[in-house]
């Protein structure tokens, strides 16, 4: 993602990328668990929790651009960049949490304890 995109599309894309990474990763991981003889819904629930941080990293680009923008904001006084990056991370965290919630509803694993 080297090209600059407007903030609102990046905000929306960050949310859906994180949700997609988490949902897709948990479902494909559950298929692998099924093929290896494990319980797929339990594995899906476990994978959803494990993939949460990686969904956020994938959504914000997985590069050091975010850290560079925050550094620039702190050291050069560009607070607009800090706020934008914070909102993008918050959007990605919201998408990841939505994915976890959908997996939790789908598996009903939180009830079986």
Q: What is the pLDDT of residues 19-28, one digit of tens each?
A: 999 999 999 9
| pLDDT attached to residue 18 | 96
**What band does 3 get if pLDDT is binned at 50, 70 and 90?**
low
Which residue is it, tokens 């702190």?
Answer: 74
pTM of the model: 0.83
Q: Is 55 left (phi over 0), alpha (psi -120 to 50) or beta?
A: alpha
- 2-11, 41-50, 53-62: least confident range: 2-11
Query: Helices 40-59 and 7-35 meet at what angle, rounded to 10?
Result: 150
């Amino acid at each position: 993602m080297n090209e600059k995109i407007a903030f609102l599309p990046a905000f929306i894309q960050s949310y859906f990328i994180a949700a997609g990474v988490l949902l897709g990763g948990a479902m494909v991981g559950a298929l692998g668990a099924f093929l290896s003889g494990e319980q797929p819904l339990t594995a899906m629930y476990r994978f959803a929790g494990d993939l949460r941080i990686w969904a956020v990293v994938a959504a914000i680009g997985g590069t050091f651009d975010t850290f560079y923008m925050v550094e620039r904001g702190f050291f050069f006084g560009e607070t607009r960049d800090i706020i934008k990056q914070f909102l993008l991370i918050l959007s990605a965290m919201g998408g990841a949490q939505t994915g976890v919630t959908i997996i939790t509803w789908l598996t009903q694993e939180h009830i079986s304890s």
